[in-house]
Structure 1
Amino acid sequence: MTKRHNENLSLADVLKEFVETNRLEKGLDAVNVQDAWKQMMGNGVNNYTTAIQLKNDTLFVKLSSSVLREELSYGKAKIINMLNEHLGKELIKKLVLQ
């Protein structure tokens, strides 16, 4: 049974405490990165994206188009900065396009 706090807490504080105590942050970060990729890259890139996976600080993206993979490889640093800015924290340090 969890301990009960007597003071009033906001819902955001309660959710943050729940995520920290249950060590869910890595899983939530992985889901947030996938959502950020889909939002930031648009339909053109998403149609050729087959898998997105975050391992430690490296984002692995599988693409079904070799032409698109080559085109995106020229702007890796910009993509990393754009995704980190969208997420509000620096989760991604390396991008691997497969």
Structure 2
Amino acid sequence: MKKPLPSASSRRADIIPLKEGLEALVRAYRLQGKLDEVTIVASWERVMGKAVAQKTKEVYVSKGKLFVRLTSAPLKHELVMAKTRVLELLNTEVGSQVVTEVIFL
């Protein structure tokens, strides 16, 4: 025998917006930290600009530190001098204090 289909009103009670569902999933699996790290790396070009991104060889986050490998020594020196500003811009992009230090290689 077939089960009767649930009524439309009971189905609506179980429906949640996709955004809330994804946020709950991220919380349940404790992925927010890693998601923020990936967001920082992905937003490097947008935050720093195309000229800096072209001279960037590698960007990664490890233990709260952002490591950036550059191909230009003068650019590296310039960014080292503006390290705190770079840190502020990237953390503002994510909306939380994800990176505590920027290390230029």
Percent identity between the two aligned chains: 27
Give the equivalent residue in structure 1 for 2:4. Answer: none
Give the equivalent residue in structure 2 for 1:13. Answer: 20
Structure 1: 5+ residue stretches without partners: 1-5
Deviation at 1:30, TM superposition (A): 2.3
Q: Of 75, 98, 104, which residue of structure 2 is paired with 1:91?
A: 98
User: Which of these two proteins has the greater Rg computed from alpha carbons?
Assistant: 2
TM-score by length of 1: 0.85
Q: CA deviation digits over 1:48-79, x for unaligned, max 9?
A: 11111111211110101111101110000011
Matched, 1:43 2:32: no
18-27 or 33-42: which moved more? 18-27
Rounded Cα–Cα distance in structure 2 between residues aligned with 1:26 and 1:91: 7
Equivalent residue letter for 1:89: S
Query: What secondary structure is seen at the aligned counterpart in 2 of 1:9?
Result: coil
Structure 2: 5+ residue stretches without partners: 1-12
Equivalent residue letter for 1:49: T
Q: Of 26, 35, 38, which residue of structure 1 is paired with 2:33?
A: 26
State the number of aligned residues.
93
TM-score by length of 2: 0.80
Rounded Cα–Cα distance in structure 1 between residues aligned with 2:93 and 2:38: 13
Deviation at 1:21, TM superposition (A): 2.2
